[in-house]
């Protein structure tokens, strides 16, 4: 999952980004509304965390511009508590949820996960791939009931595939959703993670579709 944070308080933006990266999300950060809108239009983000009071364009205008362009990316708005800006107004411009500053990181993370689940094909917290289960709330993965320990990035790659079980997901789509824009390395990095997942979860879990990408074995579970 790839997230964009648009927040001009740099320390807050940095600490949110670090926390979310530690959870395995790819995170891009920018500090003004104009840049935020440009990035959101350019990339296929899974979620945007959008502050309201921003230099350039304010958060309401960024959100309204995205919606006017037909972009349905989930938007979590960050509002200041001073009452100058209204949560209702945020929701009116098309935001999906809001948080009032100061907020706890745990609450932010829970909201982020809930919005990402809602966006996915399946709202179910637990995805099943035959003998493998992927619990997106606890980030626990099991095969035949036994826990399999994955790194945060391995989990993120598996989640991309599991959300679209049975469909072909291209290497580019995985890259776009799991790595952030600072990544300029070899796109074949995806193969490295898929190999690791096969080693840990069983070779039959992920099928290579030549020239197209990967799909998880859909065994009708
Ligand atoms: Ca601000």
Give the residue from 65, 93, 120 where a domain finishes.
120
Average pLDDT over every residue of 20-31 = 92
pLDDT of res. 220: 46
What's the whole-model pTM score? Answer: 0.74
Higher-pLDDT residue of 219 and 180 is 180
Two tokens, residue 50: 């959008």
128 and 114, same domain (yes or no): no
Rounded-to-integer distance, Cα 172 and Cα 178, Å: 10
Ion ligand 1: protein residues whose beta carbon lies under 5 Å: 8, 51, 53
82 and 26, same domain (yes or no): yes
Instruction: Tell me, in angstroms, the distance from the centre of ligand 1 to residue 111's CA.
Output: 20
Preceding peptide of 175 cis, ω within 30°: no
DSSP at 181? T
59-68 vs 33-42: helix crossing angle, rounded to 10: 30
Using the predicted structure, report yes or no on whether residue 137 has a pLDDT greater than 60: yes
Do the bridges between strand 213-216 and strand 140-143 make them parallel or antiparallel, or are there none, so unpaired? unpaired
Asked whether residue 7 is domain-assigned, the answer is yes
87 and 142, same domain (yes or no): no
pLDDT in tens, 41-91: 999 899 999 999 899 999 999 999 999 999 999 999 998 766 655 656 666
pLDDT of res. 18: 93
Instruction: Tell me, in angstroms, the distance from the centre of ligand 1 to residue 187's CA.
Output: 35
Using the predicted structure, report yes or no on whether residue 140 has a pLDDT greater than 90: yes
Give the residue from 88, 120, 152 where a domain finishes.
120
128 and 191, same domain (yes or no): yes
CATH number of the domain at 164, please: 1.10.10.10
162 and 101, same domain (yes or no): no
Instruction: Tell me, in angstroms, the distance from the centre of ligand 1 to residue 6's CA.
Output: 9
């Amino acid at each position: 999952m790839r997230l964009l944070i648009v927040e001009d308080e740099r320390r807050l933006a940095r600490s949110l980004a670090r926390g979310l990266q530690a959870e395995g999300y790819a995170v891009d950060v920018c500090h003004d509304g104009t840049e935020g809108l440009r990035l959101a239009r350019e990339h296929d983000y899974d979620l945007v965390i959008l502050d309201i009071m921003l230099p350039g364009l304010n958060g309401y205008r960024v959100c309204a511009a995205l919606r006017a362009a037909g972009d349905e990316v989930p938007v979590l708005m960050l509002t200041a508590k001073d009452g100058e800006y209204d949560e209702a107004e945020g929701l009116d411009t098309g935001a999906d949820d809001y948080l009032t500053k100061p907020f706890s990181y745990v609450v932010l993370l829970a909201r982020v996960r809930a919005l990402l689940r809602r966006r996915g094909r399946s709202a179910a917290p637990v995805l099943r791939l035959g003998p493998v289960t992927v619990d997106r709330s606890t980030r626990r993965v099991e095969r035949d009931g036994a826990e399999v320990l994955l790194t945060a990035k391995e989990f993120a790659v598996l989640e991309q595939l599991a959300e679209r079980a049975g469909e072909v997901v291209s290497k580019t789509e995985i890259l776009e959703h799991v790595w952030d824009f600072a990544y300029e390395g070899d796109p074949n990095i995806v193969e490295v993670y898929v190999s690791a997942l096969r080693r840990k979860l069983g070779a039959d879990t992920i099928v290579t579709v030549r020239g197209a990408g990967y799909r998880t074995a859909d065994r009708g579970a």
